[in-house]
Amino acid sequence: MRQHFKPELVAMNMGSLPHTDPKEACDLIRRHFPELPGWPQLPKRSYLENMYTQFSEGFPGIVVEENRVYVDRSRDLSQDLESLYQAYLESDVDAYGFGPTFAAGLVEWAKGEFNSCKAVKGQVTGPISWGLTVLDHERRPILYDEVLADAVAKHLRLKAAWQERELRRSHPTTIVLLDEPYMASFGSPYVAVTREQAIALIDEVLGGIEGLKGIHCCGNTDWSLILSTSADVLSFDTYDYAESLSLYPAEVERFLRRGGIIAWGIVPRETRSLEQETAANLVERLCQAMHLLVKKGICFDDLLAASLVSPSCGLGTMTVEDAERALALTTGVSREMRKRYLLS
């Protein structure tokens, strides 16, 4: 799949937007990201589009209440778990889709025309973040239950595989990212997960994706762990954490050598920073970020050829005005970088 997709500093949107009208959100994405559009999550439209609730439907023992989603482990979950494992063994994704109630943006997005795109993008919440956020009825993260942790990864694998199948109805080349904000806390006392467990759970989900697959983390983390997974795409907050990635030049070089892609999240989502930035400023900031790796032996041309440009994270918590400015800046940075380095 990677050999058929050339990133070359194309602009890519992240998952969430603050809009409540699916058509308005999708029109905005098609306008700003004609080469690589991704369907929008709309958490302000409904709590059901929150990144944790959105992928909860069908999980054993799941209970969805207003502003709360949890697993009721006081129930007998054996039959639900058996159904999940049967679907997993048979790669039967039909029962793991999500419609307009949970993803109005995906339903509206699918109505578009994508013939001129390089690829289309989707996303699913990663197993570490989902398993630490979704609690049981005693308010304990379900990731700390060995059986449920395994079920989380298999459940999300089926969700990702179903979504990829739907995306391919629009375009043959797909990118599906796992959103893993909790990886920013990996190694702290708040995340009692080993490196081996994290890689295994993430790779279980990624294993259900046949096309390009990646991981997005919007904070600092152990990038060597992320780069040790089977991910094809690393998406990170470049605006605030560019230096942290440069601490792993050997891992980055191996990642690029096997065809890896870096999505540089150079456009901030914090209002004060956003107000102060221009596309020209962010181009310079992105070049500086890349040169942190170049100084450690990474070829600049290789970085350029394997790069996407994006916001630093999802924009769902912002105002509509700020989010639209962030999208415009993302497009502007992509355009100026491609013009400067003759990639267009």
Q: For residues 76 and 124, is the Cβ–Cβ distance under 8 A?
A: no
Residue type, 286: L
Residue 191: which pLDDT band, with cuts at 50, 70 and 90? confident
What is the tens place of the pLDDT at every residue in 113-149?
898 899 999 999 999 999 999 999 899 999 999 999 9
**Residue 319 reports pLDDT greater than 80:** yes
Q: For residues 213 and 232, is the Cβ–Cβ distance under 8 A?
A: yes
Strand 62-65 vs strand 68-71: parallel, antiparallel, or unpaired? Answer: antiparallel
Residue type, 1: M
pLDDT at 66: 82
Residue 291: which pLDDT band, with cuts at 50, 70 and 90? very high
Q: In the beta sheet, which residues pair with residue 64? A: 69
Residue 96: which pLDDT band, with cuts at 50, 70 and 90? very high
3-state helix, strand, coil in the chain (%, to 5): 45, 15, 40
**Residue 100 reports pLDDT greater than 70:** yes
The mean pLDDT of 4-12, rounded to a whole number, is 93
Helical segments of 53-111, H only: 78-90, 104-109
pLDDT at 340: 93
What is the tens place of the pLDDT at every residue in 32-77?
999 999 999 999 999 999 999 999 999 999 999 888 899 999 999 9
pLDDT at 69: 94
Alpha-carbon distance of 112 to 27, in angstroms, equals 9
Edge-to-edge strand order for the sheet containing 212-217? 10-11, 307-311, 261-267, 233-236, 212-217, 174-179, 120-125
Region class of 306: left (phi > 0), else alpha (psi between -120 and 50), else beta: alpha
The mean pLDDT of 24-35, rounded to a whole number, is 96
Scanning the structure block, which residue is given the tokens 């929150």?
Answer: 50
Q: In whole angstroms, how far apart are CA 219 and each of 1, 81, 87, 216, 343?
A: 28, 33, 34, 9, 29
**Residue 109 reports pLDDT greater than 60:** yes
Out of 3.20.20.210, 3.40.50.1220, 3.30.410.10, 2.90.10.10, the CATH code matching 2-340 is 3.20.20.210
Residue 214: which pLDDT band, with cuts at 50, 70 and 90? very high
Residue 3: which pLDDT band, with cuts at 50, 70 and 90? low
Percent of the chain with pLDDT over 70: 99
Residue 190: which pLDDT band, with cuts at 50, 70 and 90? confident
pLDDT at 192: 87
What is the tens place of the pLDDT at every residue in 9-25?
999 999 999 999 999 99
Among 86-90, 151-155, 181-185, whose mean pLDDT is lowest? 181-185
Report domain extents, the chain: 2-340
pLDDT at 202: 98
Edge-to-edge strand order for the sheet containing 68-71? 62-65, 68-71, 135-136
pTM beyond 0.75, yes or no: yes
pLDDT at 67: 82
pLDDT at 262: 98
Residue 297: which pLDDT band, with cuts at 50, 70 and 90? very high
For the chain, give the mean pLDDT: 94
**Residue 2 reports pLDDT greater than 60:** no
